[in-house]
Amino acid sequence: MSERALRGTRLGATSYETDRGIDLAPRQTVEYACQNGHRFEVPFSVEAEIPSAWECRFCGQEAALLDGDEPEEKKVKPTRTHWDMLMERRTREELEEVLAERLAVLRSGGMNLAVHPRDTRKSA
């Protein structure tokens, strides 16, 4: 019985509500154009902030707002290298001092580079 109750209707496809007696929000129409020459309009509320770019409804590329301001370029931070981060922690004089200490240890034979303490291979 319940199967027959919905027969003949397409759920979700058709709205049975009417627009009678409803005041829609004030709207404005904004025009966009993409690089492929497609032009289209998008309705926005009068109170809405208008985006400077919108996806083209024909080809999917980014379309720019016509008669609008160019989008602001975002500030990009310069890439920090390991050297930059090291120089934030130490001065050049301190680095030269550490280098001299480590070279002195290596030259004195204080570190045996032939056998590493974590080396699990048996030496012959």
Secondary structure, 3-state, the chain: CHHHHCCCCCCCCCCCCCCCCCCCCCEEEEEEECCCCCEEEEEEECCCCCCCEEECCCCCCEEEECCCCCCCCCCCCCCCCHHHHHHHHCCHHHHHHHHHHHHHHHHHCCCCCCCCCCCCCCCC
- Is 32 one of the annotated binding-site residues? no
pLDDT at site 113 = 61
- Is 56 one of the annotated binding-site residues? yes
Q: Is the model's pTM score more than 0.85?
A: no
- Is 59 one of the annotated binding-site residues? yes
Q: What is the pLDDT of residues 11-45, one digit of tens each?
A: 666 777 777 888 888 999 999 999 999 999 999 99
